Chain A
């Protein structure tokens, strides 16, 4: 197996044994990028020199026996929503095409501190708004399993890069499914941790009360390794929780006997694509075989989740994106015609259509006279949804559902139909609304050879339970096929 398609933990073994060096792994990944990125287009920026330099430093640490993290020397790709000191960070937007941050965000600095090698910045839907990567201000990333199809979004570049061997693992963000849906479409593992589990400092904000940082990896163990490195309270993020971080990798026992797993009826609706439903139900059976019991549960407020999300997320986004005004950084269009004209030109041309749509939706939802009917009501529904989950988690340990209602769809299929695009995230959005943790795992291939993901949802701050169940499933499922980038 080429180095670029191995896992973090297998590479770490080899690094420890001294059979490979970080430079070899990094070179392998960089070569792979040169080979396939022209077709898949995951990267917005590749940081070749910096990566090789970091790899050299890691090799030095291995020589000295000065290594403490399993991420030391591992090449990782970073969604372009994470600020990286001295490396252009665009959030997939033209309005930031020239923005070079003066600082590293907390998740990135934690990865760097662990010794990880950063290979570059990955493509995404502009400001994380989208489910197909077609909203990137630069170019769409393609699904490495089928280049006529989307990789999902908004962390499409992050998911495709792991699938295509262009990074060993990647960092993404998930506001309504932006890690889990592309993970599902690209056949990789994607974890959205509990809200507050990972610091958001230095992560370009889309919807502050929903955004959460998480890893995309080749298997569950890698996911546990990544989470351990990035999780934990950060004084720079007041919403990051002061909840101790368990040693996730060592808690992967695969023992789930006695575990109760709920199948919410609302997540298996009438008319669900059978190509999705079949492998997801098979995944549930696999967990049962491992000693878990399956229970049917109901989360009736789920049907309001997408509507609630499309009030709260745009409302927060309309405010979060106000800072891109051409005054301080990023692109400024028109120095003539005064202040208003500068705002108008910069924001009209700098933002893409989906971003502008959401800014308008959010601005309207917060307007005087509409606030209570929209934002106020959405917050009340949010409380309802959260309570419903709490109640269900008093009866079951985890929930299981499809990650996405369909496999990856063809490029251009939904660009003109935002509502259909929004429905991509119907199974993932409730998790963000309630601030819970969830993971998407590859559970099968459609007859057309497209990956399907199963989603496991856990209570807040119980990622170790979630990951252990995922690990048990993975053991039962066996090796998932690697995609062959055609």
Chain B
């Protein structure tokens, strides 16, 4: 039988605020264990949370970017469970009254786009992490640096129908949070995490099957891989006449399989109730407007504009907008009045190559300098290959491109008289090849161009060299 997959994703995005959600501790990563802690995030007796307003701003921004309804009043709730990485024995989250509800995003699919509905977006605090020492459960240590780092949870409706769509949805969310500047979008490092609810049903059916929850998919590739596997597994169970058990399954990236973690019976009863230590968050229209005004152009909008207004190929638009930093660089060069496609070629070509080879931190070139180099080529001041040398030098040193051209003697010879002189001498020295050309072997032209360039150490304007050569060879 043919089956259709029904997938909903719960995505956790770590918000890039300077301080934690309920205390003033830093959110910086890579610190010594328990350095970024205080009585509040250690869950000491007597402490109380104080909400970091930036977290509300960021979540609001996400809600607006995904067309959500913003709650005029939103409430935090306690999610109660015991675990050593959870210092208070409960996580402050949101339950019945999240800040954003009923939104949607559009994801690209084969030959068009699909709307995936968003059920809700809410704010919560992250837990710490356990470090297990030695074998045989010798000791477990708790690092609470991450405890209280702000998270935003984005829950989708079960609108996703394939692993590819899941991946596209995830990519779309990543683009949005990265462009909003509220999350670094790094799945491998866990700043963007995702759990999936997945079931299958006979193709054409309207009734969802029993779903399983898949955890631990920490890359785009693993997400697709885990869902592929789970669809396959559920299909086999049904084909063999079995039943799907509602359970939580863990993805094992080494084996590429999902395995049962806990059944429905073992599911936690989190005993949610409104957090009495915090007052409800009231969001007035002014707050919404202020955040709305802060939302920058998102990636999908940029792609459309690059194609429609700048006339760039779709491919260029996608590559240029892959990271907001690249798009910004591209647009800053454009602002100096150079042709978009030429800018695109330089950014996608030399610039990207150098970033990759030499590293981001070595980049010294300014958008103005790139525009300058493009203009040099336009004006035939340097050849394309000369310009590449200049580009690399400026990239690494930030030096003035004109100065580099002078220093390295890269200025192109566009003096017709001078080029004619050279050509005359070369033609005289190669009567045999001249003969061949005149007999119809036009490819000899390349040989002459090479000779001229060699004689001028590559500085002769190739267009002029070609023109004059042809004229001379044809005996004009």
Contacts and interface: CB of A to CB of B under 8 A. Distances in A.
Interface in A173-227: 200-205, 207-209
Contact of B49 (A238, A323, A327, A363): A238
B78 A200 contact: no
Contacts of B242: none
A319 B48 contact: no
Given A201-B47, A327-B142, A343 B82 contact: yes
Contacts of B47: 201-202
A414 to B, nearest CB: 28
B88 to A, nearest CB: 5
B42 interface: yes
Contacts of A322: 80, 82, 88-90
Interface string A98-134: 0101110100000000000000000000000000000
Contacts of B78: 319
Contact of B50 (A91, A235, A315): A235
B88 A371 contact: no
B266 interface: no
A132 to B, nearest CB: 23
A101 B45 contact: yes
B84 interface: yes
Given A89-B45, A204-B46, A323-B45, A328 B278 contact: no
Interface stretch (B8-16, B269-277, B339-347): B269-277
B273 A315 contact: yes
A237 interface: yes
A368 B269 contact: yes
B48 A325 contact: no
Given A319-B78, A322-B89, A203 B46 contact: yes
B137 A238 contact: no
Contacts of B89: 319, 321-323, 325
Interface in A442-471: none
A200 B48 contact: yes
A236 interface: yes
B42 A316 contact: no
B44 interface: yes
Interface string A222-258: 0000000000000111110000000000000000000
A446 B384 CA distance: 107
B313 interface: no
Given A238-B50, A238-B278, A91 B45 contact: yes
Nearest to B42: A328
Nearest to A329: B44
B263 interface: no
A43 interface: no
Interface residues of B, number: 30
Given A323-B89, A328-B87, A375-B273, A204 B48 contact: no
A96 B46 CA distance: 13
Contacts of A235: 50
B281 to A, nearest CB: 10
A371 to B, nearest CB: 7
Interface in A309-323: 315-316, 318-319, 321-323
Contacts of B90: 319, 322
Nearest to A240: B48
Contacts of B48: 200-201, 236-239
Interface in B71-130: 78, 80, 82, 84, 87-90
Contacts of A478: none
Contact of A371 (B49, B137, B273): B273
A421 interface: no
Interface in A327-379: 327-329, 338-339, 343, 363, 366-368, 371, 375
B51 interface: yes
Contacts of A284: none
B355 interface: no
A83 interface: yes
B82 A338 contact: no
B93 to A, nearest CB: 13
A322 B43 CA distance: 10
A367 B269 contact: yes
Query: Among the interface residues B47, B137, B269, which one has the most CB atoms of the partner chain A within 10 A?
Result: B47
B259 interface: no
Query: Among the interface residues B90, B271, B272, B279, which one has the most CB atoms of the partner chain A within 10 A?
Result: B271
B43 A323 contact: yes
A319 B271 CA distance: 9
B39 interface: yes
Nearest to A83: B46
Contacts of A202: 46-47
B45 A83 contact: yes
Contact of A366 (B39, B80, B82, B279): B80
Contacts of B42: 328
A43 B272 CA distance: 38
Contacts of A238: 48-51, 277-279
Contact of A325 (B46, B82, B272): B82
B84 A99 contact: no
Contacts of B140: 339
Interface in B171-188: none
Contacts of B82: 322, 325, 343
B279 to A, nearest CB: 5
Interface string B137-167: 1001010000000000000000000000000
A316 B276 contact: yes
Contact of B46 (A205, A319, A328): A205
Contacts of A204: 45-46
Contacts of A327: 84, 87, 142
Nearest to B88: A323
Nearest to B279: A238
B269 A201 contact: no
Nearest to B79: A319
A102 B277 contact: no
Given A338-B137, A343-B82, A328 B51 contact: no
A276 to B, nearest CB: 33
A102 B46 CA distance: 11
A208 B142 contact: no
Contact of A328 (B43, B137, B276): B43
Given A327-B142, A328-B142, A343-B82, A366 B271 contact: yes
Contacts of B43: 323, 328
Nearest to A326: B84
A470 to B, nearest CB: 29
Interface string A293-323: 0000000000000000000000110110111
A209 B276 contact: yes
Given A102-B39, A202-B47, A343-B82, 10 more contacts: A89-B45, A200-B46, A201-B46, A201-B47, A235-B50, A238-B48, A319-B78, A319-B271, A323-B87, A371-B272
18 contacts: A83-B46, A96-B45, A101-B44, A201-B46, A202-B46, A203-B46, A204-B45, A208-B276, A238-B278, A239-B276, A315-B273, A322-B90, A323-B87, A328-B87, A363-B271, A366-B80, A366-B273, A368-B271
Interface of A: 82-83, 89, 91, 96, 99, 101-103, 105, 200-205, 207-209, 235-239, 315-316, 318-319, 321-323, 325, 327-329, 338-339, 343, 363, 366-368, 371, 375
9 closest cross-chain pairs (CB), A and B: A322-B89, A366-B271, A208-B276, A209-B276, A202-B46, A204-B45, A83-B46, A327-B84, A368-B269
